[in-house]
């Protein structure tokens, strides 16, 4: 398929009413082609929104500053608003490989730079699609990982759109040569120590020499993979809807076990994805389904990548990381009816006649957490250990050390969500304070 301005306008047709576009410009051939074509389309009235350019200087190459100056001059010549951001990959976090670090930082900058409702235009093309397919296939990616790079998706406060995904690198190069465009060449792209360069320079040319039309065939397969992934998402959504408890962060263990192992894995992946948590690896996912979920015992906690999966009272939970609660906090519900306790949640107080804790005790309270050995005699009940009271109230085990305890003068008065100690309970007709605890969302 030959690339030209008309083809670009067709690709951008769904975005005609957008007010602003931010174009990612590296200075390489593909992004220069995108800038040239979009700028020409805008000059001819085929694109009405404002156009800005963002260049990210990774500082990894000795020519990085020259590339930045090239991109800036390109925009200056076309009178296009230019932005540049420098990133420090040494502080980008412990990610696997410099390519992954660079990508993470790029998208962080994109997110910080975009205006609300703005469309980020990126120059990924068909060859990028196929390289990504092979790259992820070699890593044993899931169907979702193998699915095509999305042309259009929501991102940050706006959208990402990739108008060149249906065009090969060769087709874009032909356009660049016809238009006599200039671009920068990154000689590190010749280094086959980088996985993508190895695929691009060694593997795909060999495939093309044997199967010249492989791009067209693989593109069809990518479409089928993408459709299959969408169908699995629909199935997972249906299964999740039927297994959700009243607590939106929990699903039924019994219901989950009634599904086939494949559907269980599909549902769990979708559930974790919706929560914004890291995907489970192959071994973790199979251990979860084959061993952790069906094993005997009603309680359990499985540590995975950056969070935990908890099992309690026939429900499965996602337990997100939180800071450790403070040792103690002073609180006056009469002055502050809503009190945020870091690492625990929110305490809320409201006045009620003849119920809850006596208002006369609520002027100076202390919020503490379980240390061990605490006990309480709730109104109308025998004295019991705090541990026993939490078990009877079916407080999830991972919350028991985070449940706030209300003290006054070193005396335990109230266990929010469980009850008020008899000595602190409001008498009939007396002004009372009812305390409620909402666990934090990790």
The CA-based angle 109-112-117, given to 5 degrees, is 120
Q: What is the pLDDT of residue 94?
A: 43
Q: Give the distance from CA 264 to its chain's centroid.
A: 21
Q: Are 409 and 422 in contact (CB under 8 A)?
A: no
Give the pair of three-digit tokens for residue 231.
């169908």
Give the pair of three-digit tokens for residue 114.
């975009």
Query: What's phi and psi for 221, nearest 5 deg?
Result: -65, -40
The whole-angstrom separation of Cα 310 and Cα 297 is: 12
The whole-angstrom separation of Cα 322 and Cα 73 is: 47
Q: Are 442 and 320 in contact (CB under 8 A)?
A: yes
The whole-angstrom separation of Cα 25 and Cα 181 is: 14
Residues in the chain: 442
Q: Are 315 and 253 in contact (CB under 8 A)?
A: yes
- Sheet of 20-24: strand order equals 81-86, 50-57, 20-24, 119-121, 158-161, 152-155
Q: What is the pLDDT of residue 97?
A: 67
Give the pair of three-digit tokens for residue 110.
């994109």
The CA-based angle 281-124-15, given to 5 degrees, is 110
Task: Read off the pTM.
Answer: 0.78
Spans of the chain, pLDDT less than 50:
91-96
The whole-angstrom separation of Cα 387 and Cα 398 is: 13
Give the pair of three-digit tokens for residue 22.
């931010």
DSSP, collapsed to helix, strand or coil, labels residue 21 as: strand
Q: Is the dihedral of CA 191, 195, 198, 199 positive or negative?
A: negative
DSSP, collapsed to helix, strand or coil, labels residue 317 as: strand
Q: Are 316 and 293 in contact (CB under 8 A)?
A: yes
Kind of pairing between the strands at 152-155 and 300-303: unpaired
Kind of pairing between the strands at 338-341 and 300-303: unpaired
The whole-angstrom separation of Cα 224 and Cα 127 is: 18
Residue 130 CB-density burial (10 A; 0-12 exposed, 13-18 middle, 19+ buried): buried
The CA-based angle 191-195-200, given to 5 degrees, is 75
Q: What's the pLDDT tens digit per position in 133-182? A: 998 998 888 898 899 899 999 999 999 999 999 999 999 999 999 999 99
User: What domains lie within the chain, and their CATH numbers?
Assistant: 5-210 (3.40.50.620), 220-319 (1.20.59.20), 328-439 (no CATH)
How does DSSP classify residue 201? I
Q: What's the pLDDT tens digit per position in 361-389? A: 988 899 999 998 999 999 888 999 999 99
């Amino acid at each position: 398929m030959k690339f030209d301005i008309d083809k670009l306008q067709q690709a951008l047709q769904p975005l005609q009413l957008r007010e602003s576009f931010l174009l990612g410009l590296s200075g390489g051939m593909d992004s220069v082609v995108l800038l040239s074509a979009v700028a020409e389309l805008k000059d001819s009235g085929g694109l009405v929104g404002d156009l800005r350019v963002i260049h990210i200087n990774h500082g990894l190459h000795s020519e990085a500053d020259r590339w930045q100056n090239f991109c800036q001059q390109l925009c200056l010549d076309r009178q296009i608003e230019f932005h540049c951001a420098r990133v420090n990959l040494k502080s980008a976090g412990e990610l696997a490989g410099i390519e992954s670090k660079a990508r993470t930082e790029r998208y962080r900058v994109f997110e910080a730079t975009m205006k609300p409702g703005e469309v980020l235009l990126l120059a990924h093309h068909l060859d990028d699609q196929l390289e990504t397919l092979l790259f992820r296939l070699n890593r044993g990616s899931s169907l979702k990982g193998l699915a095509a790079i999305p042309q259009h998706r929501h991102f940050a406060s706006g959208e990402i759109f990739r108008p060149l995904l249906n065009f090969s690198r060769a087709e874009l190069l032909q356009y660049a040569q016809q238009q006599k465009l200039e671009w920068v060449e990154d000689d590190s792209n010749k280094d086959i120590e980088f996985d993508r360069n190895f695929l691009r320079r060694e593997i795909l040319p060999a495939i093309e020499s044997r199967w010249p039309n492989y791009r067209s065939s693989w593109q069809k397969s990518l479409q089928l993979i993408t459709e299959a992934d969408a169908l699995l998402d629909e199935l997972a959504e249906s299964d999740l809807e039927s297994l959700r408890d009243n607590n939106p962060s929990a699903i039924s263990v019994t219901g989950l076990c009634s599904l086939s192992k494949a559907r269980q894995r599909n549902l769990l992946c979708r559930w974790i994805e919706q929560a914004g948590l890291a995907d489970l690896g192959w071994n973790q996912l199979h251990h979860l389904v084959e061993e952790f979920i069906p094993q005997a015992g009603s309680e359990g906690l499985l540590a995975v990548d950056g969070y935990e999966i908890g099992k309690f009272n026939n429900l499965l939970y996602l337990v997100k990381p939180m800071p450790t609660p403070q040792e103690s906090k002073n609180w006056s519900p009469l002055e502050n009816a809503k009190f945020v306790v870091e690492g625990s949640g929110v305490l809320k107080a409201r006045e009620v006649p003849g119920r809850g804790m006596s208002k006369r005790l609520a002027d100076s309270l202390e919020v503490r957490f379980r240390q061990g050995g605490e006990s309480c005699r709730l109104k109308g009940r025998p004295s019991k250990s705090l541990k026993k009271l939490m078990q009877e109230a079916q407080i999830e085990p991972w919350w028991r050390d985070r449940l706030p305890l209300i003290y006054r003068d070193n005396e335990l008065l109230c266990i929010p969500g469980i009850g008020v100690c008899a000595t602190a309970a409001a008498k009939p007709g007396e002004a009372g304070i009812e305390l409620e605890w909402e666990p934090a969302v990790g």
